[in-house]
Amino acid sequence: MAMQFYASPEQIMRDRSELARKGIARGRSAVVLSYAGGVLFVAENLSSALHKVSEIYDRIGFAAVGRYNEFENLRRAGVRMADLNGLSYDRRDVTGLALANAFAQTLGAIFTEQSKPFEVEICVAEVGATPDDDSLYRNTYDGSVTDEPGRMAMGGQADAIAGVLKSNHRPDMSLGEAVKVAVQALGSVGGEGGAARSIAANQLEVAVLDRNRVGRTFRRITGAALIALLDGGAEGEAADGDRAKTPTTPTEEAHKPTTSAGSADLEDKPGNPEA
């Protein structure tokens, strides 16, 4: 006769939490923070094609850490939900809170019903008229939602990063200052012997929700504009020309081998020379 093992619900939930937490902690981190001109997303990401930060709607952005396939799944659901609501009602009626709630319900249901929870942590950010009006929602693997005070860190060693972020972040910062604070916070962990490390522009994914733009406010900051921001040269203005270029139609240049953000991300040791 087969032995009947009893596992208490408490034990099952603890095991699932542990699995999710470990999975999330292995990946590279991301930070989201308010600044004077909008909301800034900075994520460590080796891939320039597989995004951790994306646009959901006019004033709503999405950032995630953890397993790529799992958060991509949620991102698609979020875009579909936002576009459906925006078409049914009006573009102004699509809110970050509704999305955060839908993600929370979905993550919560998966956590309790499936044998493996999603190993993801998500930020839904909505840019407001002033930094005080911005809302950042943190969705965790078990379905809980928290409303964050203008800044948040997710991923491996998030507590240490959040600590650095908290001491340096002010909501009235310029874009250049905000990027520097974010990159400094991300680089404060993971160096040799606990020392800070510097992160090159090609390992960062940076995007903003631009407070002063009407309509779709999301734009990515890449290439020369990002390097200029990291070097502290032109602040923000350099990034403006980038809007026309992203997103682009597929051209001949797109023939390059693809890398998986999922697998690159879940490696224990970042294998980059700058680390």
Partner 1 sequence: MAAGFDPSGRLPDVFTNAGTSSFTSFLSQVAPEMLPGRRPLPPGMAADLAPHATTIVAISAAGGVVMAGDRRATMGNLIAQRDIEKVHPADAYSLVGIAGTAGIGIELMRLFQVELEHYEKLEGAMLSLDGKANRLASMIRGNLGAAMQGLAVIPLFAGFDLAAKDPARAGRIFSFDVTGGPYEETGYDAIGSGSLFARSALKKRFRAGLSTDDAVRLAVEALYDAADDDTATGGPDLTRRIYPVVMTATAEGTHRLTDAETSAVAESVVAGRMENPGG
* Residues between 194 and 253 with contacts to partner 1, criterion CB under 8 A: 216, 244, 247-251
Nearer to partner 1, 109 or 200 (CB): 109
Q: Does residue 97 belong to the site contacting partner 1 (CB under 8 A)?
A: no
Nearer to partner 1, 4 or 88 (CB): 88
Nearer to partner 1, 83 or 235 (CB): 83
Among 16, 28, 51, 151, binds partner 1 (CB under 8 A): 51
Q: Does residue 13 belong to the site contacting partner 1 (CB under 8 A)?
A: no
Provide DSSP, 79-97: HHHHHHHHHHS-GGG--HH
Report the sign of the C-alpha dihedral through residues 153, 151, 193, 229, in that order: positive
CA atoms within a 13 Å half-sphere pointing along the CA-CB vector of 130: 2
C-alpha separations of 132 from 39, 62, 65 in Å: 11, 19, 25
d(CA 262, CA 5): 35
Least Å distance between CB 237 and partner 1?
Answer: 17
Q: Which one of 21-29, 37-45, 82-90, 149-157 is the stretch in contact with partner 1 (CB under 8 A)?
A: 82-90
How many residues make up the chain in this entry? Answer: 275
Q: Does residue 12 belong to the site contacting partner 1 (CB under 8 A)?
A: no
d(CA 235, CA 157): 29
> Which residues sit at the interface with partner 1, rule CB under 8 A?
49, 51, 54-56, 73-74, 76-77, 79-81, 83-88, 102, 105-106, 108-110, 113, 216, 244, 247-251
